[in-house]
Structure 1
Amino acid sequence: MEQIVDISSDGRHLSRDRGFLKVEADGAEVGRVPLDRIAAVILHGHGTTWTASLMVELARRGALTVLCGRNHAPVALLWPIEGHHAQGGRMQAQWAASRPAMKQAWKMIVQSKIMMQAAALRSVGEPDAPVSILARSVRSGDPANIEAQAARRYWPLMMGKDFRRDVGGGGANGLLNYGYTVLRAATARAVIGAGLHPTIGLHHRAQGNSFALADDLMEPFRPLVDLAARRIAREAGPDVTSEAKQALARIIAFDMEVDGVTTPVSGMLSRLALSLARSFESGRMELGLPKPPAPLRLMELGR
């Protein structure tokens, strides 16, 4: 099973030791993780140091390194130069994709996200109709910004009427920031592994965003983070503790289903990225989007 390694304590030193990532504090070993099991390393702690050989070995395995700010949102990512064996051809197909194809893909992603939001609301006993009814109104490229309309209805039901989603805000926002960081890292890894360029997005196209495509493809999975953050905030408080981080990091191992196949979120992201790569090559958008899990399954998130 792939792991997200979080380094949040100050003064840690990271190095490679015979196929392991070794963590030391004051010269003494405090932990180690097999390199082959690492999907991403997330760094928060002040004074953290690492060896170049460790970074090289992580990159060779396709694992990302994410640097986070005080609000638990990512500020930089290290990703490998070498990707999928068919990377050149797939990137050319990605660059050559038509705007109608990009818009059609974004429509499918927005619809999938809205249906996942509706399923998340059902799992916590909230009415889903105000959100799910909007899915049928999404058109190619989402020109009416139905995604934002759904969000305005969704957040008060999911997090409470006084909640405001704000990256720099307090309360559960820190939990959401960290959960989305985990999800973004896993998605970026899937994008690179599929031979696609993460900068070329379907919808997210802000200058300076090196992971626009990851931000696009992670959208249907965001409600999983929302559910976990909601549970943690209500049961243990909104602080981003080590226990909260562990619960949020487990999201990539949460099982989902598509086309009768059950696979963890990390595998589902790889499947989605690969389906997009093949769609660029064929010219037909056929995305492997997730099927919303049953309410009882969704209730397991955040434990």
Structure 2
Amino acid sequence: MERVIDIQTDGVFLSVHRGFLIADLAGENFGRIALDDIGALIVHAHGVKWSNTVFTRMSERGVPVVICGSNHAPIACIWPLDGHHRQAARMRAQIAAPKPLTKQLWRQVVTAKIRMQAAVLQRYDVEAGGLLRLARTVRSGDPGNIEAQAARRYWKALFGPNFSRDQNADGINSLLNYGYTVLRALVSRAICAAGLHPTIGIFHANSANAFALSDDLMEPYRPLVDMLVRDLVDKGHDRVTPETKQQLASIGTLDLITEIGTSPLSIQTQRFVYSVVTSFEMKVPMLDLPDPSIIATSSVVEEVPHDALGT
């Protein structure tokens, strides 16, 4: 199983030797993991030193290297130039996707996200009828910004009337930031593996955002992060610690039940991104979106094995 590796210890030197990522601290071996077992590399610690080979070997495997700021949100990501063998053709289809198609894709993404949010609330016995009604009103391109209307109801219903989603805040917000960082890395890798370009989104179009497509396609899965954070908060963990990082970094291994069987989130995101490729190539929305029923059957990993290179 591919693992999310989080470097959170200051002063670590990262290098590659004989197919392994090696972490040294003060001249002593701190940890190691096979390169082929890495799904994403996330760096939070300050003062980390790198061998250039780390970046080349990660890029050769399509593994994103994510650099995070003090609020645990990503501020940079190293992306490989070489990708899928059909990358050029798929990127051309992505660029040429007609506006009506991308609007329909976005409608489906937003509708799926709101339904997943409703399922999260129902998991905690919170009334979710309002969200389900909103999900039925989403139109092509979401011109009414139903996504934002749903969010205003959702956050206060999930974390209490005094909660406000703020990326720069501590506590629950920092837990959400970290979980979304892991999710963004997983989706970004799936995008790279499918031969799409992360900058060309179906909705997000900020010229300064190099990962607009990643931000678009992670939307239906965000509520899974919210679920994990809520479970952590219910157990008394309301801030980012090494232990809560391990729990959130395990989201890629979260087993989800679908019509074709049970598979981890990391595999499901790959199927979803491939359905986006098919939609671009066929010029018809054919998204393989998550079923909200997976929320009821999902559970947080109680114990996550710890080693020096993270989860």
The 1:164–1:292 alpha-carbon spacing in structure 2 relative to 1, beyond 3 Å, is same
Question: More deviation in 229-238 or 111-120?
Answer: 229-238
Deviates more, 1:53-62 or 1:226-235: 226-235
| Deviation for aligned residue 1:261 | 3.4
- Structure 1 residue 294 displacement after superposition: 4.5
- Measured after TM superposition, the shift of residue 233 of structure 1 is 2.4
Matched, 1:210 2:215: no
Residue 200 of structure 2 corresponds to residue 200 of structure 1: yes
Match of 1:52 in 2: 52
Instruction: Provide the residue aligned with 1:161 in structure 2.
Output: 161
- Counterparts of 1:129 and 1:193, CA distance in 2: 38
Q: SS of the residue aligned with 1:208?
A: coil
Instruction: Describe the SS at the equivalent of 1:138.
Output: coil
Query: Which residue in the other structure is 2:243 paired with?
Result: 243
What 5-or-longer segments of structure 2 have no aligned partner?
A: 304-311
Instruction: Name the SS of the counterpart of 2:13 in structure 1.
Output: strand
CA contact (8 A) 1:120 1:298 kept: no
Q: Letter of the aligned partner of 1:121 in structure 2?
A: L
Gap regions ≥5 residues in structure 1: none
Q: TM-score, normalised by structure 2?
A: 0.94
Take 1:146 and 1:72, find their aligned partners in 2: how far apart are those partners? 28
Alignment of 1:122 onto 2:125: no
The one-letter code sitting in structure 1 at the alignment partner of 2:92 is: Q
After TM superposition, the score normalised by the length of structure 1 is 0.97
Shift in Å at residue 170 of structure 1?
Answer: 2.1
Partners of 2:298 and 2:132 in 1: CA distance: 17
Displacement of 1:301? 6.1
Aligned to 2:172: 172
Change (3 A) 1:204 1:244: same
What secondary structure sits across from 2:33 in the alignment?
strand
Confirm or deny that 1:77 pairs with 2:77. Answer: yes
Alignment of 1:26-105 (within 5 A): 26-105=26-105
Deviations 1:90-128 (A, max 9, x none): 000111110000000000000110111011111111111
Aligned twin of 1:7 = 7
**Structure 2 contact 237–244 (Cα < 8 Å) conserved:** no
The aligned length equals 303
Q: What secondary structure sits across from 2:41 in the alignment?
A: strand
Q: Check the 8 A contact 1:42/1:67 in 2, yes or no.
A: yes
Partner of 1:139: 139
State the identity as a percent.
47
Please say if residues 3 and 38 of structure 1, whose CA atoms lie closer than 8 Å, have aligned partners that are also in contact.
yes
